[in-house]
Amino acid sequence: MYDRILVPVDDGEENRRAVEHAAALRKLSGGRICLLHVVDPLWYANGRECAAIYFNSVLPAMRRDGQRILQEFRDMLGDDAVSSEQVLEESGIRSVPEIIIGQAKQWGADVIVMGTHGRRGWNRTLMGSVAEEVARLAPVPVMLVRPATPKQP
């Protein structure tokens, strides 16, 4: 049923749980897992950075960090890593949810499994939710995996 399982990851603990759930789904279905990390430079930009510094040091460091994150989660998959792919995308002018949904379409995902920060109240309102937007707009089912202990408002 779920032959292609897309798992967007960043460096949060909730993603560890999402990868565990995706691995369990993969064992049931015999499918493949695609780990996706989005380098989102706009998240870190404060409007005062010098372009040369940004492109010469910040962006390459973000790419290396993204590769490290993907490798850590691939290692976590153990034997399931054989049936996995890793994709590193840069957001550019697109939002992170747009990239996740685009990758789901391009790769032919049957389901998206992703962690959610578990923010509540004003924190959720102010910060927004990538997971919520993906769940609303994705062309395939989305499994949201909560952290072990949701963050307080």
Question: Which helix (H) or strand (E) covers residue 123, if one does?
Answer: helix 121-127
Tell me if 152 is assigned to some domain: no
DSSP state of 140: S
For the chain, what is the domain count? 1
Q: What is the pLDDT of residues 111-152, one digit of tens each?
A: 999 998 765 554 554 445 888 899 999 999 999 998 776 555
Tell me if 56 is assigned to some domain: yes
Distance in angstroms (rounded) separating the CA atoms of residues 36 and 57: 23
Q: Kindly report the three-state secondary structure assignment for every residue of 31-98.
A: CEEEEEEEECHHHHCCCCCCHHHHHHHHHHHHHHHHHHHHHHHHHHHHHHHHHEEEEEEECCCCCHHH
Mean pLDDT, the chain, whole residue set: 83
Higher pLDDT, 107 or 46: 107
The single residue listed with the structure tokens 């040369």 is: 52
Domain with residue 82: its CATH number is: 3.40.50.620
For residue 73, the enclosing domain spans: 4-145
Asked if pLDDT for residue 17 goes beyond 50, the answer is yes
Q: What is the pLDDT of residues 61-80, one digit of tens each?
A: 889 999 999 999 999 888 77
Query: SS3 of 142, please?
Result: strand
Residues sharing a CB contact under 8 Å with residue 2, sequence separation 6 or more, in sequence order:
25, 26, 28, 29, 31, 110, 111
pLDDT band at 56 (very low <50, low <70, confident <90, very high): low
